[in-house]
């Protein structure tokens, strides 16, 4: 399946109950050929309204961190979520919703073959790195799985609630920049 076919399949998905309350499916945005994939939890209100990931307040903060290390969500990365439709009242996605939605992420992963995956927050990190990971303790650490480098960082929404964590999150992005120089071919060329 090609990326655009996958996108259109996802945009009309009714595989879990979140299809009944969503406004838009948030498939993801960025460069499908990116070597760096950012993965959050699930769309919030602004994302549901626009169909785009991380465009509310936490998205604005994320963009500042990206910019600081010369990453641009339109050009050299791709951003998506574990779950593509907004859970009502922004509750945590439930296991049956993760399970229903995971094949889309798996397919995105297969088509993109990223070199680096950055998990934004606990839900993505627990699902993609280790169920018992503590993002507070282990953010910024690298773990390689099947040749792909994984790191968890603090969720930008958590940084809005606890601004004292911002310097720690910034260090994660500096570590990311170093890892990109080490393992990526074209992220910083275009």
Please give the residues from 73 up to 132 whose contact with ligand URA meets the rule CB under 6 A. Answer: 81, 120
| Contact partner at residue 40 from ligand URA, ligand SF4, none, CB < 5 to 8 Å by partner kind | ligand URA
The whole-angstrom distance between residue 133's C-alpha and the CA centroid of its chain comes to: 17
| Helix (H), strand (E) at residue 180 | helix 166-183
Please give the residues from 146 up to 185 whose contact with ligand URA meets the rule CB under 6 A. Answer: 157
Q: Per CB under 6 A, does 53 bind ligand URA?
A: yes
Q: Per CB under 6 A, does 123 bind ligand SF4?
A: no
CB of 10 to ligand SF4, least distance (A): 5
| Contact partner at residue 53 from ligand SF4, ligand URA, none, CB < 5 to 8 Å by partner kind | ligand URA
CA distance 26 to 138: 28
* Cβ partners under 8 Å of residue 83, min gap 6: 18, 41, 42, 43, 93, 97, 98, 101
Q: Per CB under 6 A, does 25 bind ligand SF4?
A: yes
Which among 70, 62, 177 has a CA at the least distance from the CA of 121? 62
Which of 6, 27, 35, 40 binds ligand URA (CB under 6 A)? It is 40
Please calculate the CA angle 32-35-37 and round it to the nearest 5 degrees.
75
Round the CA-based radius of gyration of the chain to a whole number and report it.
15
The binding site for ligand URA (CB under 6 A) comprises 40-44, 47, 53-54, 58, 81, 120, 157
The binding site for ligand SF4 (CB under 6 A) comprises 10, 13-16, 18-19, 25, 83-85, 97, 100-101
């Amino acid at each position: 399946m090609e990326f655009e076919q996958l996108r259109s399949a996802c945009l009309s998905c009714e595989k879990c109950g979140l299809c009944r309350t969503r406004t838009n499916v948030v498939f993801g945005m960025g460069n499908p050929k990116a070597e760096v994939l950012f993965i959050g939890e699930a769309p919030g209100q602004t994302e549901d309204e626009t169909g785009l990931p991380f465009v509310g307040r936490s998205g604005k903060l994320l963009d500042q961190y990206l910019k600081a290390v010369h990453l641009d969500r339109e050009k050299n990365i791709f951003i998506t979520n574990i779950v593509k439709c907004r859970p009502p009242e922004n509750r945590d996605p439930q296991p049956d919703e993760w399970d229903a939605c995971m094949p889309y992420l798996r397919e995105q992963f297969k088509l993109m073959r990223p070199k680096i995956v950055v998990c934004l927050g606990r839900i993505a990190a627990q699902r993609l790195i280790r169920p018992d990971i503590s993002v507070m303790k282990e953010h910024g650490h690298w773990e390689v799985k099947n040749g792909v480098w994984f790191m968890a960082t603090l969720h930008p929404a958590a940084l809005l609630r606890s601004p004292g964590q911002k310097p720690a999150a910034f260090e994660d992005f500096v570590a990311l920049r170093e890892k990109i120089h080490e393992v990526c071919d074209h992220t910083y060329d275009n």
